[in-house]
């Protein structure tokens, strides 16, 4: 790890020397911060290990650091494991102690990390939250518009059901800002579809864990709940839900989920085992990891960064989602166009680029998962 270029202690010592000599030379000058690099990045992902989105997110962060090159990024130190908000707070402090120049992190909570973020700012460290927001006013947020993500999928689903019927509502990680925003979007869609009933008010949390999502679906089917619904809103676990329904020999109901590779292939029925499946995929790019590293570099380098208008929060860049379904030939053609990078894990989202914030070749992302 390259030593931090911020030099706060040396700056203070230099200031003392200049003050001692100031009798005849005037006031001391403020040291000019290094804005040329190379810079070191600390990356924290505090949950969802094994989840395709989280794994891909970390890979894109590594890919972007490599793409920027050692003249700009000296290294990226990744802490990637399952912890609660208190554990992630400790992880951020560990990275701070390693004299990184920037922290990029997927937050477990919007408020609980603020103490460590304040310590980072006091040390001159740039902070960037990806995939979800934090309330710290000095941190930049870069994430998918999760409210709109949920609204797009839910409105499509409810319209596909003819505006009436019962829906099974599955969620992600309790307390995660992205899940909370999706809940707002889902309920916004419910308000405009008064004849839709949710069989499990408040939703069922999967933790964005594939094994857990499969078990929850199996339990839902064996308990008779599945036979009472006409639609499913998934939160990134659609692949597992659909396969559990198929394994149980149940007929498919319309389902809305994310642009996960395996789910999109199910919608395209590429192996002939998903006849009758109707669904929509909404983009939720995991490339926010790489984009966060790029944003951190821009901020360290003092490049101009423009926040999104109408984001509702300061220092925020929102990425707008797109929905495609398999109900028309054109929709199927467009879905097929999303499948382009060889070697992709089937549980990864298919969007690998964020224009203006990723510089790597998308084809290099799968191989970037090992090493830093």
pLDDT of 22 above 60? no
Which tens digits make up the pLDDT trace of 114-170?
A: 999 999 999 999 999 999 999 999 999 999 999 999 999 999 999 999 999 999 999
Contacts of 313 (CB under 8 A, 6+ apart): 133, 141
Confidence of residue 9 (pLDDT cuts 50, 70, 90): very low
Contact between 52 and 37 under an 8 Å Cβ cutoff? The reply is no
If you write DSSP's letter for every residue of 271-298 in order, what string do you get?
A: TS--TT--EEEE---TTHHHHHHHHHHH
Domains, the chain: 146-282 (3.40.50.2300)
The pTM of the full predicted model, rounded to 2 decimals, is 0.83
């Amino acid at each position: 790890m390259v030593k931090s270029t911020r030099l706060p202690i040396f700056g203070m010592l230099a200031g003392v020397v200049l003050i001692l000599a100031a009798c005849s030379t005037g006031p001391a000058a403020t040291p000019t911060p290094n804005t040329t690099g190379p810079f070191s990045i600390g990356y924290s992902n505090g949950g969802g290990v094994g989840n395709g989105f989280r794994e891909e997110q970390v890979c894109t962060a590594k890919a972007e650091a490599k793409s920027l090159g050692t003249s700009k990024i000296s290294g990226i130190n990744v802490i990637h494991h399952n912890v609660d908000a208190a554990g992630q707070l400790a992880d951020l402090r560990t990275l701070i102690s390693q004299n990184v120049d920037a922290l990029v992190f997927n937050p477990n909570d919007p408020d609980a990390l603020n103490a460590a973020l304040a310590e980072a700012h006091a040390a001159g460290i740039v902070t960037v939250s990806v995939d979800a927001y934090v309330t710290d006013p000095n941190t930049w947020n870069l994430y998918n518009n999760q409210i709109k993500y949920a609204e797009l999928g839910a409105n499509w689903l409810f319209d596909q059901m003819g505006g009436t019927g019962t829906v099974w509502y599955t969620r992600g990680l309790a307390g995660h800002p992205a899940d909370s925003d999706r809940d707002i979007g889902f309920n916004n869609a419910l308000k405009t579809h008064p004849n839709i009933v949710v069989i499990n008010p408040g939703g069922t949390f999967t933790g964005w864990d594939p094994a857990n999502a499969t078990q929850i679906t199996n339990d839902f089917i064996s308990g008779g709940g599945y036979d009472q619904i006409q639609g499913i809103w998934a939160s990134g676990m659609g692949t597992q839900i659909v396969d559990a329904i198929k394994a149980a020999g149940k007929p498919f109901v319309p389902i809305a989920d994310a642009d996960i590779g395996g789910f999109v292939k199910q919608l395209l029925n590429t192996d002939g085992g998903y006849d009758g499946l109707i669904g929509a995929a909404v983009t939720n790019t995991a490339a926010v990891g790489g984009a966060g590293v790029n944003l951190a570099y821009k901020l360290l380098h003092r490049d101009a960064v423009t926040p999104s208008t109408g984001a509702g929060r300061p220092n925020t860049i929102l990425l707008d989602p797109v929905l495609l379904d398999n109900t028309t030939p054109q929709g199927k053609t467009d879905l097929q166009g999303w499948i382009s990078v060889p070697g992709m894990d089937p549980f990864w989202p298919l969007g690998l680029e964020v224009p203006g914030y990723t510089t790597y070749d998308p084809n290099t992302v799968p191989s970037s998962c090992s090493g830093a």
